[in-house]
Amino acid sequence: MPELPEVETVRRSLEPSILGQFVRHVILDTPSVWRGADPDTVTGLRITFSKRRGKYLLFFLEPAGTEGLAYWLVVHLRMTGRLTLQGSPDPVRLHTHVRIELGGKTPQPVWLIFQDTRRFGHFSLVPAQSADQLPDVLPCLGPEPLDAAFDAKVLGRQLFGHGRLNLKAALLNQAIVAGIGNIYADEILFASRLAPDRLAGSLDEAEIGRLAEAIRDVLLRAVEQCGTTLKDYVDGWNRKGSFQHCLMVYGRAGQPCRRCDMTIQKKKLAGRSTHWCPACQPYLPA
DNA sequence: AAACTAACCTGGGGGC
DNA sequence: TGCCCCCAGGTTAGTT
């Protein structure tokens, strides 16, 4: 489920309630979702910083005094993971895997709850050098598309060497650009008027420019709308996103294109269902 | 290098 | 109502 806009929305919704809080207690209901250092290691540490990198959420945990190690708590929600806040550890809803009690800043404790139906999501707890140095448990990730530095030149450089990869696969490749998943890949390609099966190496300069612009534009608009809720996704306070109302192609196979009325097509590409408008996104450049 | 499959999991929907 | 198959927002590993 969660792609960059959803993960960013979760991060922003959690931040005010968890920054500056101390970890009081970690209840690990499903041990297999936890990797790295023992959960008890973080008891007494304070959350001082949160960050998103691609689809990863990172929390920086610092010791209260000068003694002890700092840690990164790295979370990936995969398809159905949810990170929400509640006032108590109960009720324990179905598919709850981790419950973390936070306190110290607020009079009442706050509980950070991790639920994940499919159990693909996971936590990694790793020692940290500094908040500037991201942990090496993160895989190789491409540039952040919402960073100011991201532009056509950066995208062109990232695509170089992947000339024979189709655009759908290229956008889904986290090492080329971080944070794009199946929904936004299709929406981005529609916005840039490029066919999903065009090869990355076949783009001219103008097309790379359109693609870079569409990546930023679609993701920014989706963040403004607090993400896309199709089924499971909610933010830290159980609120749904609203970008599902803005989708132009994803999930619209057989329906008329919102721009030209042509029927939206669907086929499997890069192993994922891919939606596009054959008129707005002709295979051959217009 | 890239395409393809299966794997990790659970649940929902469609067809019969 | 129930069963079977396919599908799902992600990623990795193994194979051709």
Tens digit of each residue's pLDDT (9 = 90 or more) over A37-68: 999 999 999 999 999 999 999 999 999 988 89
User: Is A272 in the active site?
Assistant: yes
User: Is A278 in the active site?
Assistant: no
pLDDT-based confidence at residue A99 (cuts at 50, 70, 90): very high
Q: Which nucleotide is nearest to A32 (CA to C1')?
A: B8
pLDDT at A232: 85
Q: What percent of chain A has pLDDT over 90?
A: 96
Q: Closest Cα to residue A264, out of A285, A246, A282, A250?
A: A250
Q: Chain A, 190-209: which CBs lie within 7 Å of strand C?
A: none
For residue A286, pLDDT beyond 90: no
pLDDT at A1: 66
Q: What percent of chain A has pLDDT over 70?
A: 99
Q: How far apart are CA A211 and CA A199, in angstroms?
A: 13
pLDDT-based confidence at residue A97 (cuts at 50, 70, 90): very high
pLDDT at A197: 95
Q: How far apart are CA A41 and CA A69, in angstroms?
A: 10
pLDDT at A23: 98
**In this structure, what are the phi and psi dihedrals at residue A157, rounded to the nearest 5 degrees?**
-65, -40
Where are chain A's structural domains?
4-128, 152-276
User: Is A55 in the active site?
Assistant: yes
Q: Chain A, 232-261: which CBs lie within 7 Å of strand C?
A: 232-233
Whether A3 CB is under 7 Å from strand C:
yes
- The mean per-residue pLDDT over the stretch A219-238 comes to 96
Whether A141 CB is under 7 Å from strand C:
no
Domain A152-276 is in which class? Answer: mainly alpha
Q: Which of residues A1 and A247 earns the better pLDDT score? A: A247
CATH code of the region A4-128: 3.20.190.10
- Can you give the distance from the CA of residue A135 to the C1' of nucleotide C16 in angstroms? 34
- Can you give the distance from the CA of residue A273 to the C1' of nucleotide C5 in angstroms? 17
Q: Chain A, 13-52: which CBs lie within 7 Å of strand C?
A: none
Tens digit of each residue's pLDDT (9 = 90 or more) over A7-39: 999 999 999 999 999 999 999 999 999 999 999
Q: List own/partner pairs for A59-66 with CB under 8 A and 24 or more apart.
A: A59/A18, A60/A128, A60/A131, A61/A23, A61/A128, A64/A22
Whether A183 CB is under 7 Å from strand C:
yes
pLDDT-based confidence at residue A285 (cuts at 50, 70, 90): low
Whether A172 CB is under 7 Å from strand B:
no
Tens digit of each residue's pLDDT (9 = 90 or more) over A152-208: 999 999 999 999 999 999 999 999 999 999 999 999 999 999 999 999 999 999 999
User: Is A15 in the active site?
Assistant: no
- Can you give the distance from the CA of residue A172 to the C1' of nucleotide B4 in angstroms? 16
pLDDT-based confidence at residue A134 (cuts at 50, 70, 90): very high
pLDDT-based confidence at residue A88 (cuts at 50, 70, 90): very high
A132 Cα distance to chain centroid: 20
Residue position matching structure tokens 């062109």: A156
